[in-house]
Chain A
């Protein structure tokens, strides 16, 4: 029972969260770097493996074909990634709960079919069709959520059934029309295929992003210091904000050099904004916290008073709605809605993107950003192989290998976290 006396709270020099003498506290620049390396070695990987992987992919394809990192190809790559990327945000949410939604591809197909038919046959105004498709997505998600919560059927089975049923619905809606071409005057086509934001607007958004990162970080640091907690130092935050500003501005300016057909697509900006919003919701709100809690330990979440069932239903609704939005963007990007919209690649790419981006299949671990990082990996591979005129057989095999690699990294880092006490 001999114990060291408790650390006094009123030691003024040390922030109250750093007083435990067992805490390994990096001081100085080199120790901070070493602490980062140690974090990675013990399995707290974060987004690092994906970013490194993405850089390797960029370098390899750039060596093989110098057009790869050209503004035109990057524009095509980014705008092509949007539809599946948006769908992947929903997949991230479902995976965070430790569940799965296999029917996102079919849902996207249904939503693009709804769009094609209502636009060309029923001549509804476009905004109304978009709302209708999103509502259809939400209703499907509501049904999944109800089935899951009420009957406790595994989500794997519910959404597998949904995959088939929605595929049937898509064929039924399209009926004899087969593939419907959408006029290029359509808002959605302009939004997701034709229109890039002007460079000045891109730069404004970059400034907004840099300020949006720096100012809250500085305020939070000040608040922490006032509360007697440790806080990152202001120069560090400002340097990071400046690096962000310069890097993003460089990307925007570089893409702007490609002329009228390049630049950053409207829909890609929306994709990034959606991710920023979802990231905020997941990390800073009560609801987001409850998603992680349910994914980590359902029973604990339930006993803590979280309405677990509502969380499940809300996430299934969001997942299907994101899939419906993805389907709309897909139809807009292709300029058509066909029988094969949303089948095959779409489904698997959206799920693979979330996993490759670093969202754990085991639930409770991941971030909205993994949708962006994962889809960039998949589309970079697709785009690079396309430039090399290799056909999709090679693409499937390589993407499969990357997915496997990502899951192995996930499992290994899980094991290593457990060993190093970071699980």
Chain B
């Protein structure tokens, strides 16, 4: 637990963070899910939120998404203290959340899904405008969707993930939260989504990436925030740390299953050499 390298102080000031959480607490009945959590997201930065099952990642995301509010603590958005009582409020602020189950309507085409709930047109829908905007958006993301007039059900997993992420950008958010975006994807599709995340960063958005896959985290994240048992357990600049350091913070010790196994393998290898 001594591996905490304090990176938030050396480069960034809290003032220019697009989203800051300070001293967040959240309890469910007898369980204290989150204790005194701090989190900053800066524009043009991918922050990975990592932690074991039950570490409180989802709870934290749900607070930001407005699913349930925190018990105490403050959320600052663009320098102003805000309350996020509902999903609509979260979206209105400019926080876009892409949940793991994507929430797409399979029977509707890509354009309808992208603009669902925010259709363009006063009385009659302006399909032409929506379709050309859809193409603009997908091109900006270099998304590989062959046609925007085919039903979403016929798209691959990566393409569906792309549509879900693109949809989150329709409202022009400043923070995008991605909950396990690569969990169900193959190698190539994962790469596509990782490219997409980099493109969100290039657009100057703050990205909060929740992932169990440390390879993905190391591939795209600038910073990793580790939660353990509902508390902050370290914050790393990805470039500075190794895989083992993050594992250690996630599991809570330098002596853990993973390190023991690696040590054992190392010993075994050395013995083989002999």
Interface residues of A (CB under 8 A from B): 1, 3, 6-7, 9, 16-17, 20, 22-23, 220, 223-224, 227-229, 284-286, 289-290, 292-293, 295-297, 299-301, 303-306, 364-365, 417-418, 420-423
| Residues on the A chain within 8 Å of B132, using CB | 16, 227-229
Interface contact B118-A284, CB-CB below 8 Å: no
Q: Which of B91, B106, B119 contacts A286 (CB 8 A)?
A: B119
The distance from the CB of A360 to the nearest CB of chain B, in whole angstroms, is: 9
20 contacts between A and B (CB under 8 A): A17-B147, A17-B148, A22-B146, A220-B128, A224-B128, A290-B117, A292-B107, A295-B107, A296-B106, A296-B108, A297-B105, A299-B103, A300-B116, A301-B116, A304-B116, A304-B117, A305-B118, A364-B107, A365-B107, A423-B107
Report the Cα distance A23→B191, complex, angstroms.
22
- Do B103 and A223 have beta carbons less than 8 Å apart? no
Known contacts A418-B153, A421-B154, then 6 further A-B pairs from the complex at CB < 8 Å, ordered by chain A residue: A289-B112, A292-B107, A300-B102, A304-B116, A306-B116, A420-B154
Which residue in B118, B139, B151 is a CB contact (below 8 Å) of A422? Answer: B151
Q: B262 at the A/B interface (Cβ < 8 Å)?
A: no
Q: Please determine whether A293 and B150 come into contact, CB atoms closer than 8 angstroms.
A: no
A111 to B146 alpha-carbon distance, docked (Å)? 51
Q: Does B87 contact A (CB under 8 A)?
A: yes
Among B103, B125, B129, B131, the residue within 8 A (CB) of A17 is B131
Which B residues fall within an 8 A CB radius of A? 87-88, 91, 99, 101-108, 112, 116-119, 121, 123-125, 127-129, 131-132, 135-136, 139, 142, 144-151, 153-154, 191-192, 195
Do B108 and A285 touch across chains, with their CB atoms under 8 A apart?
no
**Closest CB in chain B relative to A295 CB, distance in Å:** 7
Q: Are A306 and B147 in contact, CB atoms less than 8 angstroms apart?
A: no
In the complex, are the beta carbons of A292 and B105 less than 8 A apart? yes
A303 touches B103 (CB 8 A): yes
> Which residues on A sit within 8 Å (CB–CB) of B127?
220
Q: Is the CB of B108 within 8 A of A293?
A: yes
Residue of B nearest to A299 (CB): B103
**B116 lies within 8 A of A293 (CB):** yes
Q: Is B117 within 8 A of A305, CB to CB?
A: yes
User: Min CB distance, B58 to chain A, in Å?
Assistant: 16
Smallest beta-carbon distance B100→chain A, Å: 12
Nearest-neighbor residue (CB-CB) of A16 within chain B: B135
Q: What are the residues of chain B within 8 A of A422 when measuring CB–CB?
A: 150-151, 153-154
Among B135, B144, B154, point to the contact of A423 (Cβ < 8 A).
Answer: B154
Most buried by A among B123, B135, B142: B135
A423 proximity list for chain B (CB < 8 A): 106-107, 151, 153-154
- Nearest-neighbour CB distance to chain A for B93, whole angstroms, equals 14
Contact B103 A304 (CB under 8 A): yes
| Complex contact B191–A364 (CB within 8 A) | no
Known: A20-B147, A292-B105, A300-B105. A421 touches B153 (CB 8 A): yes
Q: Which residue from chain B places its CB closest to the CB of A24 in the assembled complex?
A: B146
Residue of B nearest to A364 (CB): B107
State the Cβ distance, B192 to closest chain A Cβ, in Å.
8
Chain B residues with CB below 8 A from A7, complex form: 139
> Which residue of chain A has the shortest Cβ distance to B132 in the bound complex?
A227
- In chain B, what residue has the closest Cβ to A1? B191
With known contacts A20-B146, A227-B129, A297-B104, A305–B88 Cβ distance under 8 A: yes
B136 (CB) vs chain A CBs: closest residue: A9
B105: which of A17, A228, A296, A417 is its contact (CB, 8 Å)?
A296
Taking CB atoms, residues of chain A closer than 8 Å to B124 are: 284-285
B121 near A286: Cβ-Cβ < 8 Å: yes
Partner of A300, one of B103, B121, B142: B103
Interface centre among A224, A292, A305 (most CB of B within 10 A): A305
Q: Please, how many angstroms separate the alpha-carbon atoms of A251 and B147 in the complex?
A: 39
User: For residue A285, which residues in chain B have a CB less than 8 angstroms away from its CB?
Assistant: 123-125
B266 to chain A, nearest CB (A): 30
Nearest Cβ on chain B to A282's Cβ, whole angstroms: 11
Complex contacts, B118 vs chain A, CB 8 Å = 304-305
Which of B116, B147, B154 sits near A23, CB closer than 8 Å?
Answer: B147
Contact A9 B139, CB 8 Å, known A220-B128, A289-B119, A305-B88: yes
- Which of B106, B125, B147 is the one whose CB lies under 8 Å from A297? B106
- Cβ-defined contact, B107 with A17, below 8 A: no
Residues from chain A with a CB closer than 8 A to the CB of B135 are 9, 16-17, 229
Report yes or no: A293 in contact with B128, Cβ–Cβ below 8 A: no
Which of B103, B105, B123 has the most chain A CB atoms inside 10 A of its CB?
A: B105
- In the bound assembly, the distance between CA atoms of A420 and B154 in angstroms comes to 8
How long is the Cα–Cα vector from A229 to B102 in the complex, in angstroms? 28
- Bound Cα distance from A421 to B109, whole angstroms: 12
Of B103, B106, B116, which is in contact with the most chain A CB atoms at under 10 Å from its CB?
A: B116
A306 to B118: give the CA distance in the assembly, Å.
9
Give the residue name and chain of the A residue nearest to B119 (CB).
Answer: A286
